[in-house]
Chains A and B, each alone.
Chain A
Amino acid sequence: MNIERRLVRKDSLEKLFDILRQNKKTVFAPVMKNGKASFKPVGSFSSIAEDYIQTTQSSKEVIFPRVEKFLDYEKNGKEVSIKGFDYQSVTETVLWGVRPCDTIGFGTLNSIFNWDFKDEIFNARLSKTIILSFSCNKSDDYCFCTSVGGNPGSTAGSDILFTKLGADGDYLAEVVTEKGQAIVALASELFEKTESVEKEKFLANVPVKFNQEEIRKKLEKFFKSSQWVEQSLKCLGCGACAFVCPTCACFDIQDDAHGKIGSRMRCWDSCGYSQFTVHTSGHNPRSVQSQRWRQRIMHKFSYMPERLSVYGCTGCGRCSRACPADMNILEHLISIQEVKI
């Protein structure tokens, strides 16, 4: 469908929020705690954080929770009764205040979770989620969305994208999908008709730093490079980068067993952990951190484009901001681009 442009007065945002709440929708929005913004269910408009470049965690948790329970079981002699995933528990959810580099990530996750196996739980959550995103009007040195096909005002993945027109201005609302139109229908008086608006001048300036297609080609011959060892020497092997990432989707199936009863769930996992690839025999095909770091980059910039036709990075820069050892992905990608083979 064609993108519809509407104008939303700055005072109307709160009204829109209240209307969403009145319509019994759970609204997840960025909330500040200990100086870090993260997505939480929000009851009042005033608790939504405003002054942040990027939330510490991506909003993927709303659709791909860090712990997702699949089933409960109970053993009775030789019988096992299973209570499966309750799809009724997935209710209409609104994601408020997402950045374009997150919304693009949902497309990437969608490719991963529907690659060969169709993940119904993921799909149920995604289909019930309405994404109201906000363009970026500021950025920092860790941002590089424009190098990986995004931009601070990209509508990709959004149902409605809001762009603030000036420091104290009103909002341009770009209604991208039918889900977005349904929101407009709930509060049509707030979405005024407007002439064409130039939003570009209100967007953050994020310069292009590398060419991801070039990186992909280079990686084909880069597997044995000594760069991986050099780059990863300071990596501590935690999972912060993967857990804040909007597209990292690795998980581990875990059972929580209590005698005859228990439940099975999937929990986030990270390729940075030394245990990630350990076999039952004790053998570890990725025994050192450089191999794990290589996997992270190769997966995002080589394997995923090859298999899923999408890149596994949205340029949000969260991993670099979160890293306790200052492993900066942008810096490493630029140095890969600069290496002559």
Chain B
Amino acid sequence: MDDLRKRAKELIDTSAVKVVIGYEQGTGNKTRALFVENSEVADKLIFDSRCVQNLAAYVTKQEVKSKGKMAITATLPVMRAIIQLASEFQVNDDNLIVIGITPESKIIDFKNLEEVETYVHQFQIEIDARNREILDKLDKMTPSERWKFWIDELSPCFKCYACRAACPMCYCSRCTVDFNRPQWIPVSSNELGNLEWHFMRAMHLTGRCVDCDACANACPLAIPINLLTKKMIEDAKSDFGGYQPSLKGENLLSTFKPDDKENFIQ
């Protein structure tokens, strides 16, 4: 923790960056984002296992970006998100410094995003055991049972779009769901509107999702929407050999291989 605070102070004091994004103690047992713009505030920085909000969601936010060069406290999922954002031209070495942090609160110094990428590529995106089990259970159901499962799970959704807001990959200034000409998705948070919204969200994250669970953690109604993106990660593995965010920018669904194998086209 002291290392983190020291590094943040250094970056601010040497004017290397204008703002350091990290975590602070929040209210109740929550942690939350902290924006360090002067070195006294750096003493509020903390890091522990509760710090799971994906801070990369802030680096594309106008209000934060406009402050100038940023530094971000980045766990592995945050680093992955940063690389994905870089591949989509949302951040670069000129506007962002990454302060890597391990689960043991050790600081990793990165000179540039390339080093971050190298670090990230040491680890595959793996579905955790608890969700693995739920996915297996769903796989064994009939499509009709799965349909009922999802209609029921999604029924509380009132479309507050906290999932979208918390997701670092959802940075579009105008989302498909906000369009009314054409109206792609019914605005109502009824069965159809909810189904299509979550379907669309999962499709847009296919090949881009970094499996940080920010969407599910943000959902005030605790809907397990991350299962949708996890399933897409799984299927990407079997269909396309998996993916890793990469500075080369070859997103799964914006590229192809002439010999992609499927078994359903006649």
B166-186: CB near A (< 8 Å → 1, else 0) gives 100000011000100001001
How many Å lie between the Cα of A268 and that of B217 in the bound state?
22
Contacting residues of chain B (177-197) with chain A, CB-CB under 8 angstroms? 178, 183, 186-190
Contacting residues of chain B (11-43) with chain A, CB-CB under 8 angstroms? 26-28, 30-33, 35
- Contact, CB under 8 Å: B64 / A233: yes
B220, CB-defined interface residue at 8 Å: yes
How many Å lie between the Cα of A58 and that of B57 in the bound state?
28
- Given contacts A240-B160, A252-B187, A267-B187, A34 and B221 within 8 Å (CB-CB): yes
Chain B residues with CB below 8 A from A321, complex form: 220
Contacting residues of chain A (141-162) with chain B, CB-CB under 8 angstroms? 141-142
- Minimum distance in angstroms from B130 CB to a CB of chain A: 14
B127, CB-defined interface residue at 8 Å: no
A239, CB-defined interface residue at 8 Å: yes
Q: Which residue of B lies closest to A318 (CB)?
A: B220
- Minimum distance in angstroms from A214 CB to a CB of chain B: 22
A326, CB-defined interface residue at 8 Å: yes
Q: Which residue of A lies closest to B222 (CB)?
A: A34
A34-50: CB near B (< 8 Å → 1, else 0) gives 11101000000000000
- Contact, CB under 8 Å: A236 / B165: yes
Chain A residues with CB below 8 A from B217, complex form: 324
How many Å lie between the Cα of A236 and that of B190 in the bound state?
24
How many Å lie between the Cα of A234 and that of B35 in the bound state?
8
A325, CB-defined interface residue at 8 Å: yes
- Minimum distance in angstroms from A246 CB to a CB of chain B: 14
| A-B interface pairs (CB < 8 A), number | 110
Tally chain A residues at the interface, Cβ within 8 Å: 47
B240, CB-defined interface residue at 8 Å: no
- Contact, CB under 8 Å: B28 / A243: no
- Contact, CB under 8 Å: A289 / B63: yes
How many Å lie between the Cα of A68 and that of B109 in the bound state?
54
How many Å lie between the Cα of A322 and that of B126 in the bound state?
28
A190, CB-defined interface residue at 8 Å: no
Q: Which residue of B lies closest to A239 (CB)?
A: B160
How many Å lie between the Cα of A153 and that of B219 in the bound state?
30
Task: Select which of B28, B63, B189 is within 8 A of A141 by beta carbon.
Answer: B28
How many Å lie between the Cα of A36 and that of B26 in the bound state?
21
Chain B residues with CB below 8 A from A56, complex form: 220-221
- Contact, CB under 8 Å: A234 / B32: yes
- Given contacts A288-B63, A290-B63, A325-B53, A38 and B156 within 8 Å (CB-CB): yes
A328, CB-defined interface residue at 8 Å: yes
- Contact, CB under 8 Å: A141 / B164: no
Contacting residues of chain A (235-263) with chain B, CB-CB under 8 angstroms? 236-240, 242-244, 252, 254, 256-257
Contacting residues of chain A (272-301) with chain B, CB-CB under 8 angstroms? 273-275, 288-290
- Minimum distance in angstroms from B1 CB to a CB of chain A: 19
- Minimum distance in angstroms from B37 CB to a CB of chain A: 10
- Contact, CB under 8 Å: B162 / A238: yes
Q: Chain B, interface size: which category?
A: 35 or more
B149, CB-defined interface residue at 8 Å: no
- Contact, CB under 8 Å: B26 / A237: no
B223, CB-defined interface residue at 8 Å: yes
Chain A residues with CB below 8 A from B221, complex form: 34, 36, 38, 56-57
Q: Which residue of A lies closest to B34 (CB)?
A: A234
- Contact, CB under 8 Å: A324 / B187: no
Q: Which residue, A242, A325, A330, has most C-beta atoms of chain B within 10 A? A: A325
A21, CB-defined interface residue at 8 Å: no
Chain B residues with CB below 8 A from A268, complex form: 158, 189
- Contact, CB under 8 Å: A33 / B156: yes
B218, CB-defined interface residue at 8 Å: yes
- Given contacts A141-B27, A267-B188, A239 and B63 within 8 Å (CB-CB): no
B263, CB-defined interface residue at 8 Å: no
How many Å lie between the Cα of A232 and that of B165 in the bound state?
14
- Contact, CB under 8 Å: A256 / B156: no
Chain B residues with CB below 8 A from A67, complex form: 188-190
How many Å lie between the Cα of A289 and that of B63 in the bound state?
8
- Minimum distance in angstroms from B192 CB to a CB of chain A: 9
Q: Which residue of A lies closest to B161 (CB)?
A: A238
- Minimum distance in angstroms from B146 CB to a CB of chain A: 18
B62, CB-defined interface residue at 8 Å: yes
How many Å lie between the Cα of A116 and that of B224 in the bound state?
42
Chain A residues with CB below 8 A from B224, complex form: 34
Cross-chain pairs A/B with CB under 8 angstroms, 18 sampled: A34-B224, A35-B222, A56-B221, A67-B190, A232-B63, A234-B33, A236-B218, A237-B165, A240-B160, A240-B162, A240-B220, A243-B158, A252-B187, A265-B188, A288-B63, A324-B166, A324-B217, A328-B26
With A236-B218, A238-B162 known, 12 other A-B pairs at CB within 8 A are: A34-B221, A36-B220, A38-B221, A233-B35, A238-B164, A240-B160, A268-B158, A321-B220, A322-B220, A326-B26, A328-B27, A331-B27
> Taking beta carbons and an 8 Å cutoff, which residues of B are in contact with A?
26-28, 30-33, 35, 53, 57-58, 61-64, 156, 158-162, 164-166, 173-174, 178, 183, 186-190, 217-224
